[in-house]
Structure 1
Amino acid sequence: MTTILKVQGLQKRFGKVQALSDVTFNVEAGEVIGFIGPNGAGKSTTIRILLGIIKRDGGNAEIFGKDAWKDSFEIHKKISYVPGDVSLWGSLTGGEIIDLFMKLHGSGDKEKRDYLIERFELDPRKKAKGYSKGNRQKVGLIAALSVDSDLYIFDEPTSGLDPLMEHVFQEEVEKIKAAGKSVLLSSHILSEVERLADKVVIIRQGEIVEAGTLDELRHLTRSTVTLETEKDVAKMLNVKGVHDFVQKDNQGIFSADHKYLNDILVEATKLGVKKFEAAPPTLEDLFMRHYEG
């Protein structure tokens, strides 16, 4: 696969604050990377370095094989970016701003622009000063999605959008991916990342603490098992690999270590299994594993 974005050992300090101490990850062609972490973890600082807005203190950051700082002008010709709070020119209409962004980028599809305006239910004739936060986000998203880019960088792009518009955005990202384009998606909406991302990068206090596909990361946490048996299900309480056992009527609900699932099943069959459901950990489980406490 072709590496579109490469970050290696990225470092950034603001005065006495070490914002980034060791950030390393790649984005390959046609890949959607979910970049997650709480406020202050270093997501936006990393993105600002990638965009050439601020200069890194150490490490490397490359897009399309070019240096993110030195070659930012060339890089910007092939990327689209939407921040979490889009600022607009209040005296211009939404439509005028979208056209201006497309012109500044140097490419754009007017038919796609009109299609996206309809999909996102934006009134393009209204002055930007009268727009809500959600409508400002729509302007940024429509402008970014109306141009042909090889890399799309979204930093909390659906902030302020209602669930219906979030769904529209997700569908458009899936189309980008199907077209072989790459996406770096920073989002607090973990269900959104779980639906769209091929891989997840979790950042904590300026360092990457986990990276990989959801399937690769899920082995790190336990599945949630719901078990109903003919005999007393409470006998599962002391089975190796069973944790946090709770009994509700005839059912036992517990967390199970993956490496002991076979042993757990063997013990469950001795009790006469009537129901056995095992749910893998969600992205939220993986995320909270690094931030609980």
Structure 2
Amino acid sequence: MTTKIFLSALLLLTAIGASAQNKVMVAAHRGDWRNAPENSLLAFKNATAMGVDVVELDLAKTSDGVIVIMHDQTIDRTTNGKGKPSDFTFDEIRKFGLRNGLGRVTNNHIPTLKEVMLELKGKPVMVNLDKSWPYYNEAYAILQETGTLTQAIFKAEVTYAELKDKYPALISKITYMPIVNLDKPDAKQIITNYLKNMKPYAFELNFKQDTSSVLKDNKFITSKGAKVWLNSLWASLNAGHEDDLAVEQGNTKDSWDWLIAHGAMVLQTDRPKELLQYLKAKKLHN
């Protein structure tokens, strides 16, 4: 091989590697809740069909021990029922209808984690298990039963020591993502401790102020094989670099562009359709 051909091949491989490395994954917060009730089976199906890489959902438990999908501590806002999930058996809670974005009751019902995982099984999408900290053992059993363990991401805003103390037997068996508040003075130490002791899938980094040194340089995270997960959905999670700034004001420079420039490899969004279109136009998503 001549030097010229070798250099051309090297440049091509470098470009391909850089292109793959620069791809940004899209996580749909509570599914496609603008076109279906939040945390409904339909919302997750819609988001998956849309082409997102991750759907986020929230876990709760009924009085008879069934793990269901519900964000709030009560079902008041999202259904035509009232009370906590734990106030009802699964058969009882299943009778309520989920409300859509306008507050109208639909024919969609509160799904179980098992139903969601069976629906998404084998599809090119991960499932982000929010509010799952109290239910790791139950969730793990469901994932094992459905053969979907590799599709699920467990998460919590705890230190490595706390994770090890509560779930020592699961640490090596699950895909895990620490949630870290970058506004706290010990944020970088929390990240470093995780990297020393395990291989997290990613770090979900939240911040009300965008001055953290971790945002300026997070190669110490990515060099260990972990992803940087940033949230574009609420200003309180990203110092105002949010979805609506991009979608409603057309200002991607201070929203999605800013988050990507500060290391985002996964963006959790309330605007999955628009974010996918934006990333594809930038050649940052397939």
TM-score, length of structure 1 as denominator length: 0.31
Report which of the two structures shows the higher radius of gyration computed on alpha carbons: 1
Q: Point out the structure with the larger strand share.
A: 1
TM-score (norm 2): 0.31
